[in-house]
A and B are shown apart, each in its own frame.
Chain A
Amino acid sequence: MQYILLLLLCTLCCTTDSLSQTPSVPQTRPVVVLGGTVHTGTGQVIENGFVAFENGKITAVGDASTARFDNSRADIIDAAGKHVYPGFICANTTLGLSEIGAVRATNDYAEVGTISPHVRALIAYNTDSQILPTVRSNGVLLSQITPVGGLISGSSAVVQLDGWNWEDAMYKADDGLHLNWPSMMPSQGDEAEKSRKRIGQELAALDQLFAEAKAYSSTPTANPSNLKLEAMRGLFNGTKKLYIHADQAKGIIAAIHFSQRYGLAPVIVGGDESWLVADVLKQFDVPVIISQTHHLPSLSHDDIDLPYKLPALLNKAGVRFCISGAGNWNQRNLPFEAGTAAAYGLTKEEALASITLNAAAILGIDSTVGSLEPGKDATLFISTGDALDMRTNDVTQAFILGRNIDLDNKQKALYRKYKVKYGQKP
């Protein structure tokens, strides 16, 4: 007994030092997640369903009551009574780009300068961040890591949350550029005139930049070469998306017209007032990445639950959208941001799609991930209960590209350590 305790303490010590979890090994045997409620992310719910995957790809999804599996050929995971989901995707996050917000040395998301299309989040992505394991243990398995600040903050990238290094974690490199649309309302007080002027200057600077970038991209080799314009080339040849961060209705409309002028199809990020311009968004088929449902209405006369029901408003208007969380560590609450949308007008499966398939579609990765469909990546997890509800979200197993990932994290380790200290039941 004493020995066991000692051993336990020893292993605990190992797991509570500053190491993060070890990336998992590639899938070697077929796996079947059997029984349980399968939420495909496409809106479909299969009670007592199954998901089979091999070599990191889903091979079959269906009704478990009619399917038979040979457990000598595959690992069968009993998910009876549990729920199976596609991995959640958090768009627009600084996950892995910032470890401790207040410690400058750990922040790699905001480069100096206002126009920085050339900087790339991907190469700053820290796979050893202690935060990542705490986020994925709530079901978030992919993220779009995104730089912040200035007028153009740089290129984002999509990564999966289990990797040895950024090249290993890369899912889609440099997926898009992020433009922060200037606030078109002057701020309060005597500064109003000043800020009107600044707004005008910023809009003019953007216009000039895009005109030059478009011209630059029309020649295969530009002379002189220009790193900033080079980085924007992808916008015009379709390899990069344009994410425009805008919350105000006027800004959203202006951003759409701006994109039209340059033949670009933007994605709006933020979109506080997107419900006001839903018809325009729909007309130009511009999707919205809603940043957080868990925030206060921006205006005191707004409906008190406006941010909670914003997804439902866009859904009703036929606007494509997904839901993102805020910051980095709190991305583990992404499922509950979606859950709130379900409490305020979305169906639960629509809410699920808003952090799975719809997010994948908006980020341009839906051909390989975002739903439980044959041929797609086996990036999925099992929860004992409804994963959109914090009351029942309890992720027991998760797979990224078929790899069975370690769901432990620093916080769980500390929990175990101190339970030992106090003699509480493990």
Chain B
Amino acid sequence: MKYVLIFLLACAPTLFAQETFPTNGVRDERAELYAITNVTLVASPGTIVSNATLVVRKGVIVAAGSAVSIPAGAVRYDMGGKWVYPAFIDLDSEYGLPETKQKKAAGDEEEEGEGGPQMDTKKKGAHGWNQALNPEVDSYTLFTASSDKAAELRALGFGAVLTHKHDGIARGTSAFVLLGDQRENELLVRDRAAAHYSFDKGTSTQDYPGSLMGSIALLRQTYLDAAWYRNAGHHEYNLTLEAWNARQSLPQIFEVKDKFSALRADKVGDEFGVQYIIRGSGDEYQRVAELKATGARFIIPVNFPIPFDVEDPFDARNISLATLKHWELAPSNPAMLEQAGIVFALTPALLKDKKEFLANIRLAVQRGLSKRTALEALTRQPAAMIGLADKIGTLEPGRIANFIVTSGDVFDAGTVVYENWVDGRRYRTAAGALADLRGVYDMTIDGSERMTLILDGAPESVRTRIVRGKDSLDAALSRTDDAITMRFATDTLPTSNSVRLSGWIEGTTWSGRGQHSDGRWISWTARLSAPFSAKVRKDSVMQPDVLGTLTYPNVEYGWEKLPVQEKVLLKNATVWTCEASGVLKETDVLIDKGKIAAVGTNLNASGATVVDATGKHITPGIIDEHSHIAISQGVNEWTQAITAEVRIGDVLNSDDVNIYRQLAGGVTTSHLLHGSANPVGGQTQLIKLRWGVAPEALKFEGADGFIKFALGENVKQSNWGDKNVVRFPQTRMGVEQVYIDGFTRAQEYERAIKRGESPRRDLELDALVEILNSKRFITCHSYVQSEITMLMRVAEQFEFKVNTFTHILEGYKVADKMKAHGAGASSFSDWWAYKYEVIDAIPYNGAILHDMGIVTAYNSDDPEMARRLNQEAAKAVKYGGVSEEEALKFVTLNPAKLLHIDNRTGSINVGKDADVVVWNEHPLSVYAVAEQTYVDGIRYYDRATDLEKRADIARERERLLRKMAEAKRGGAKTQKPTKHEEHHYHCDDIGNE
């Protein structure tokens, strides 16, 4: 007790925050001592005490439990068995802050009408260079309480929130505030409670970053800049970096838009020794194992999608299976995270209708989230995440008196939140006032006019109706203690007359006076005829809930169980080895432990699954040197001439169904490139098409790093419209100078490092230095001969080689120069005439380059063509007479050589990765169809399995559509389907959605 007293004294200053304010009149200080008795007390998750008492003094809990003596002078509230919980805490609020005006979506017509590029920040003052970094924003300085908004949040059970401006990549600090109606001085519990981040540039109008990978690069560079700024003394005053450094000791909270971005954020954090708390997105259940491995704690929304209106079967086709599955499984997200042992808080963020919050939490509980964890996630855990567990979140002596009073277990359907005490002050909820009135009443006006009054619906949204004959009219009802007022229309005409009533409640009877709109006064009474009984909830159509299976990925064609490596003997096929051994007839290929174990005739099958490949053809897996599949939110960081710092590897999307579609075309390895919008684009990522694994596991282990360069019309923005005439370069002349400048700076940077100086670490220059040292290799988008020669000369000046020219449609004009330089070629087979710089492109290009002894490949740059690269290879036979064996190498061994992975893949040879394709026909024929595709000896594609998957997809869709239709019939709100648009990236796409 003494201890408690000391604690109280210690807290005193925060409790009397208004002490400095003068009083107009006499002092009116009260004891503010309350005893809430006869309650079922859930003081903290897992501790339920019935017949308990809670004592509160001056906003602080003094005592809580069953054997509590009530201090003299306390105001007593007998709660008659109601339940008391700690009030909820939301860590992702924007409560009390000025509205953030979101920038219009890119591509918006009106937006396009505005000016050209914006290279520099528009922030005035000593800020850093990027407008999306706002670490200096302290939300507490902007905070103004809003009584209406606070009441809305209290109605959901919240008593305190962490609020911050959701704007930018660095968003500054959040304030932890109480949801009372006092002056802000008393509501602010902590000024700088946490620092917030996201990948979303928010209202920044500056071009950079123009893609997700750009956001990630900016974040990385800012960590480096901040460290440099801290250590190297002040070359400049930089408000952004000052603030950034000053906020590092706070809890760091990162908001993401999907499960993969959660992994991305955590990875960046790991690089800089930061463990973010991640504000998730609700799809975490799809990658629980990977998210668990991050070690991060999460703030999880309960934004469960509402069903679609699926009555029109054609429209319903536009709803993807991924969307249908997510609709069904999203409510299980919290339960699945709990099961995986992931620590999380829950938030109403992202809910369009916040009133759905409790209902959704209860649905999550129905789906297996334990009540204890649910309460933990709403109270103690959020408090702990921001280091305030000793102040709030449980109902122990010394804690802030934030608690709710409910009719029963708060996680049970139908439970009403009556009161929400904030800082020891009592607030009654509107729901509590009306919920207990629910029922059917016989109503009489002036003794003769009879009607039925019905109050029903959820406690949070009680609906009041007057039913008279066939008409049912909504009425507006409000209650203050036992006084009620009500208004309703008396007919359904547009210019309807209305009646306003005022009265009072006595037991189950209401009565009072009222006035018609014509001025006539009336008397009325209403008697309860039938108490409210909760109708079957709309969600209960899901009872008993049969849920679909989570697949990997959780989209079309995903696997319930990932395929595994097998020992397989492919028997008696025509084997295109792409090696000196050539094409072998009636030959077996043995696959074991992910490798090609043997190639020969009559191989021993011991223990292997035997595939009879008689009459079939086997080739190495196809390698696409130029692809843009499986990439999230932007393929181009188009905003600067050199963006060597961005990495495609940061933004892999393993959910892209094109991975699967391309396996069906025999593709096993893809080189995912940055687009061609700038002379130096981003770092590329080589992947294997391991359909079903998480992004990181797609990566081709141990492969050399590459980077995308580009020349010509795209980089000089020739076809970008009249507004884009600002960014340097706008001519081929300028392109050369961009390179010379970049590499000169890189050389000087490297020399400075070698001299032992410590220049500011620059990720862009780091990548260029890697190129100079032949640690990173170039694949350069290129068309015309002048620029091809130029880049080779620049490279020679800086003593490195251009590894690959991609597209290279005029390569044939400078094949001798390319040969002398040692560059390889990755071309289109027959594209031309789509822009001026390809006017001289010829389909014989590949043949000429090949005949010159240049390593030549054909690529797709297109998710459809990638499925038919074998046919593209055939065009080298048609145009220029390359032999069939050599032509096949254009899409197998040759791209492997260009990518420096020919020791691993690209041909069929013992010891190489078992990346092979079984075709039903000659592999260069238009009639060839891949029947099986193996990656690392795993059969990721099999035509027979594919047919099963199609049937599964159809069945699963049918089941889910039926369930949605049932949900609609059960009264659920629905949304209309919209056009399903898959986004496929090409080189010159600059969008980031």
**Chain A interface residues (CB < 8 Å from chain B):** 99-103, 130-131, 183, 185-189, 192, 248-250, 273, 276, 294-301, 303-305, 328-330, 332-333, 336, 339-340, 342-344, 388-391, 393-394, 411-412, 414-415, 418-419, 421-422, 424
Please give, as numbers and ranges, the residues of chain A lying within 8 Å of B880 by CB-CB distance: 415
Residue B922 CB within 8 A of the other chain: yes
Query: Once bound together, how far apart are the Cα atoms of A101 and B834, in whole Å?
Result: 5
Residue B580 CB within 8 A of the other chain: no
Query: Once bound together, how far apart are the Cα atoms of A416 and B812, in whole Å?
Result: 11
CB distance from B783 to the nearest CB of A (A): 12
Please give, as numbers and ranges, the residues of chain B lying within 8 Å of A422 by CB-CB distance: 815-816, 848, 851-852
CB distance from B801 to the nearest CB of A (A): 21
CB-contact partner of A300 in B105, B322, B833, B878, under 8 A? B322
Question: Binary interface profile of B, 803-838, with partner A (CB < 8 Å = 1, else 0)?
Answer: 000000000110110000000000000111111100
Query: Once bound together, how far apart are the Cα atoms of A226 and B922, in whole Å?
Result: 58
Q: Are A300 and B979 in contact (CB under 8 A)?
A: no
Query: Once bound together, how far apart are the Cα atoms of A304 and B555, in whole Å?
Result: 14
CB distance from A181 to the nearest CB of B (A): 14
Please give, as numbers and ranges, the residues of chain A lying within 8 Å of B982 by CB-CB distance: 296, 298-300
Q: Are B864 and A294 in contact (CB under 8 A)?
A: yes
Q: Are A391 and B977 in contact (CB under 8 A)?
A: no
CB distance from B60 to the nearest CB of A (A): 46
Q: Are B842 and A414 in contact (CB under 8 A)?
A: yes
Query: Once bound together, how far apart are the Cα atoms of A412 and B657, in whole Å?
Result: 39
CB-contact partner of A296 in B321, B840, B984, under 8 A? B984
For A342, the closest partner residue in chain B by CB is B927
Query: Once bound together, how far apart are the Cα atoms of A296 and B986, in whole Å?
Result: 14
Question: Binary interface profile of B, 841-876, with partner A (CB < 8 Å = 1, else 0)?
Answer: 011100010011000000000011100100100110
Please give, as numbers and ranges, the residues of chain A lying within 8 Å of B833 by CB-CB distance: 99-101, 130-131, 328-329
CB-contact partner of B979 in A101, A183, A273, A329, under 8 A? A183
Query: Once bound together, how far apart are the Cα atoms of A415 and B953, in whole Å?
Result: 49
Residue B335 CB within 8 A of the other chain: no
Please give, as numbers and ranges, the residues of chain B lying within 8 Å of A103 by CB-CB distance: 835-836
Query: Once bound together, how far apart are the Cα atoms of A389 and B719, in whole Å?
Result: 35
Residue B713 CB within 8 A of the other chain: yes
CB distance from B574 to the nearest CB of A (A): 15
Known contacts A300-B982, A301-B320, A391-B926; A100/B836 CB under 8 A: yes
Residue B21 CB within 8 A of the other chain: no
**Secondary structure class of chain B's binding surface, majority of residues:** loop
- Among the interface residues A297, A344, A388, which one has the most CB atoms of the partner chain B within 10 A? A297
Q: Are B863 and A296 in contact (CB under 8 A)?
A: yes
* Partner-contacting stretch, out of B86-94, B310-318, B734-742: B310-318
Please give, as numbers and ranges, the residues of chain A lying within 8 Å of B874 by CB-CB distance: 389-391
Residue B660 CB within 8 A of the other chain: yes
Q: Are A304 and B946 in contact (CB under 8 A)?
A: yes
For A138, the closest partner residue in chain B by CB is B878
Please give, as numbers and ranges, the residues of chain A lying within 8 Å of B322 by CB-CB distance: 300
Please give, as numbers and ranges, the residues of chain B lying within 8 Å of A421 by CB-CB distance: 816
Q: Are A185 and B871 in contact (CB under 8 A)?
A: no
For A416, the closest partner residue in chain B by CB is B844
Query: Once bound together, how far apart are the Cα atoms of A248 and B316, in whole Å?
Result: 12
Q: Are A301 and B556 in contact (CB under 8 A)?
A: yes
Enumerate B142-178 residues with CB–CB distance to A below 8 Å: none
CB distance from B789 to the nearest CB of A (A): 15
Enumerate B970-986 residues with CB–CB distance to A below 8 Å: 976-982, 984
Q: Are A102 and B946 in contact (CB under 8 A)?
A: no
Please give, as numbers and ranges, the residues of chain A lying within 8 Å of B745 by CB-CB distance: none
Q: Are A329 and B978 in contact (CB under 8 A)?
A: no
Question: Binary interface profile of B, 630-670, with partner A (CB < 8 Å = 1, else 0)?
Answer: 00000000000000000000000000011011001000000
Q: Are A343 and B928 in contact (CB under 8 A)?
A: yes
Residue B369 CB within 8 A of the other chain: no
Query: Once bound together, how far apart are the Cα atoms of A30 and B926, in whole Å?
Result: 35
Q: Are A102 and B976 in contact (CB under 8 A)?
A: no
Q: Are A329 and B834 in contact (CB under 8 A)?
A: yes
Query: Once bound together, how far apart are the Cα atoms of A270 and B978, in whole Å?
Result: 20
Please give, as numbers and ranges, the residues of chain A lying within 8 Å of B317 by CB-CB distance: 249, 273, 299
Q: Are B848 and A415 in contact (CB under 8 A)?
A: yes
Known contacts A276-B314, A389-B926; A300/B980 CB under 8 A: yes
CB distance from B617 to the nearest CB of A (A): 13
Please give, as numbers and ranges, the residues of chain A lying within 8 Å of B844 by CB-CB distance: 411-412, 414-415
Please give, as numbers and ranges, the residues of chain A lying within 8 Å of B875 by CB-CB distance: 390
Residue B230 CB within 8 A of the other chain: no
Residue B950 CB within 8 A of the other chain: yes
Known contacts A102-B719, A276-B314; A187/B979 CB under 8 A: yes
Query: Once bound together, how far apart are the Cα atoms of A339 and B871, in whole Å?
Result: 11
Q: 9 A-B pairs, CB-CB below 8 angstroms?
A: A102-B834, A130-B833, A130-B839, A185-B318, A296-B661, A299-B320, A329-B834, A342-B926, A344-B929
Q: Are A295 and B864 in contact (CB under 8 A)?
A: yes
For A196, the closest partner residue in chain B by CB is B976
Residue B957 CB within 8 A of the other chain: yes
Query: Once bound together, how far apart are the Cα atoms of A332 and B841, in whole Å?
Result: 15
Please give, as numbers and ranges, the residues of chain A lying within 8 Å of B877 by CB-CB distance: 391
Question: Binary interface profile of B, 954-993, with partner A (CB < 8 Å = 1, else 0)?
Answer: 0001000000000000000000111111101000000000
Q: Are A192 and B976 in contact (CB under 8 A)?
A: yes
Query: Once bound together, how far apart are the Cα atoms of A187 and B978, in whole Å?
Result: 5
Q: Are B863 and A300 in contact (CB under 8 A)?
A: no
Known contacts A391-B925, A394-B878, A411-B842; A300/B657 CB under 8 A: yes
Q: Are B871 and A336 in contact (CB under 8 A)?
A: yes
CB distance from B150 to the nearest CB of A (A): 28
Known contacts A414-B840, A415-B842, A424-B851; A332/B830 CB under 8 A: yes
Please give, as numbers and ranges, the residues of chain B lying within 8 Å of A388 by CB-CB distance: 926
For B884, the closest partner residue in chain A by CB is A391
Query: Once bound together, how far apart are the Cα atoms of A303 and B947, in whole Å?
Result: 9
- Among the interface residues A415, A419, A421, which one has the most CB atoms of the partner chain B within 10 A? A415
